[in-house]
Chain A
Amino acid sequence: MKTMRYLEVGQMDDLGRLDTPLHRLDARIKMVTVAVFIIAVMSFPRYEVSGLMPLFVFPFALIGVGKIPLGCIYKKVLPALPFALFVGLFNPLIDRDPMLTLGPLALSGGWLSFASILLRFTLTVSAALTLVACTGIHRLCAGLEQLGVPSLFAVQILFLYRYLFVIGDESIRMFRSVQIRSTGSKKLSLRVYCALIGHLLIRSIDRAQRIYRAMVSRGFDGQIRLLHRTQPGWRDAIFLLGWIAFFISVRHRNPARIVGCWLTGEGL
């Protein structure tokens, strides 16, 4: 399972290296837009369900333009669901006032706010994952640095990400050699397991230090360098302002309500 997840992280990295109009936008602009999006999502009243729907345009449009496979995003959303589910699940139990009637069915406020929580969760999480998939960790960290995050912290995020692969490689190598040497017995005893983990730590530290020394001797000075340092241009401005205008208009007027009234022939 660990190796599977580890390989999936690599997949996000591959996606980040694609070359689409979305990937070519400035990383800072994309980060700010996603931040505004999340704030817009969370500013809705607690019982809002229909008003959140139009906001799905944002992640879907990015996924479409950025050529990101939808499954890759939603496979990562699902494992994170339990916590939101756990806390949200109490809403229907506690808040039982009926608020919505669908023929004979009466929905309580709790179910509405529960649905709202799940929608918010899906929206914000898919937006964040899409941001990474269309930017890549390297440009993301450089963008963080340009946004004024201390460079030590930006480099730390980059190193953490890179060393994840170092540890993954080391652990695959170690467990493979254990498997080769212990034919027949399938389960490792706790003692062996602990010793393995300890040595994995030591070996990874040593390797990380060697890599770091090699980087320093090749001129690494704590700055993240990019081949092309982008400057925000008119495309970026249109992207940012266009989306912000969209968020504000969706926040103020509920397009879902308008469409619904139009379809059901009901007055606004």
Chain B
Amino acid sequence: MHMADALISPAVGGMMWVAATGLIAWCSKKVRAACDDRLIPLMGVLGAFVFAAQMINFAIPATGSSGHIGGGLLLTALLGPHAAFLVIASVLTVQAFFFADGGLLALGCNIVNLGFFPAFVAYPLLYLPITKSAKNGARLWIASVAAAVVGLQMGSFAVVLQTLASGVSDLPFGSFALLMQPIHFAIGVVEGLATAAVVAFMVRARPEALVTDSLRKPLRPVLTGLLLASVLIGSVGSWFTSSQLDGLEWAIQKTSGNEEMETPETGTHCRLEKVQEKTAFLPDYGFKDADSEEANAWPAVEIGTSVSGLVGGLSTLAIAALIGFSLKARRRNE
């Protein structure tokens, strides 16, 4: 479920970065205020543990696909939402840097998708009410599976929305959602079972290591609602900032036979378009230039003359490689 940079537009990526950094700052403040000395090494080691667990891919029966657990709910159950969010964010950051798993621009999206939903939505609204004070038995298992499934469903749906809003991939919304949701339902069930197993084990083997006991105050629902709303507005808002709605356009093409809906020549629609043309910094992801008429014509590459683009592209790639090698050779000679 880690998104790659190649599928994200700067507008969507930037928006989610803002949301993620805001949440990280807020959680850091909360954890610092909790001032629990056990928390710091526990956060580090559980992060490393989840990191290692994410490397283990399990096959999903009958789909030919595989998945790995996100670990968000497990961390939240053991550490409480604020510390858990920080741990997930750090896991994703290290993965982006060291394993090229999820991109840097997409890091904000990944942190929100895999961290926010399990820690601040599924945990307070599902896991806590179902488990109550029970630390073992059926309640724990039901709560874990339910919360993991719901958290992952929201996360994977957010992936679909962000990909759609970015408009880099041609995947139509419907079929992408139909691919993502059932797969993540299966992963969610496995993740829930794994979470319950680890929590039950920890309760038996090392009850004093469970930090959530001291932090077991449900988050204020109002706050959760506000955060949820801001993330939703963020994703929907960035949808509109991105100028290509591929899934939508695709759907429009299917239904009307045209690539773009014909816009009326006059009226508010036209006026709004004019305003947008003036204000758009990156119209259709190209910088605003003098011949914006041409840039707005949808397939921006001209047939025929683009052969020179191909030749030039390959030769500059060769030049770039040459520069790298010569720099390396020069350094070796020194």
Contact = CB atoms under 8 A, between A and B. Distances in A.
Instruction: Give chain B's interface secondary structure class.
Output: helix
Interface of B: 2-10, 13, 24-25, 28-29, 31-32, 38, 40-49, 51-52, 55, 86-87, 89-91, 93-94, 96-105, 163, 167-172, 176, 197-198, 201-202, 205-206, 209, 244, 250, 282, 284-287, 299-301, 303-317, 319-321, 323-328, 331
Contacts of B317: 53, 56
Nearest to B283: A45
A223 B32 CA distance: 13
A186 B315 CA distance: 53
B52 A2 contact: yes
Interface string A103-136: 0000001101100011011001100110110000
A157 B94 CA distance: 7
B103 A124 contact: yes
B18 to A, nearest CB: 14
A98 B99 contact: no
B169 A117 contact: yes
Given A94-B250, A110-B170, A152-B28, A83 B310 contact: no
Given A47-B299, A50-B309, A264-B311, A163 B97 contact: no
Nearest to A69: B328
A262 B311 CA distance: 10
Contacts of A259: 311-312, 315-316, 319
B89 A153 contact: yes
Interface string A34-78: 110011011111110111111111011101110100000000110
B314 A53 contact: yes
Interface stretch (A176-184, A205-213, A229-237): A205-213
Contacts of B48: 160-161, 163-164, 166-167, 204
A24 interface: no
Contacts of A249: none
B47 to A, nearest CB: 4
Contacts of B45: 159, 163, 166-167, 204-205, 207-208
Interface in A3-56: 5, 9, 12, 20, 34-35, 38-39, 41-47, 49-56
A56 B331 contact: no
A87 B172 CA distance: 11
A160 B28 contact: no
A126 B243 CA distance: 28
A256 B326 contact: no
B326 A64 contact: yes
Contact of A83 (B4, B172, B287): B4
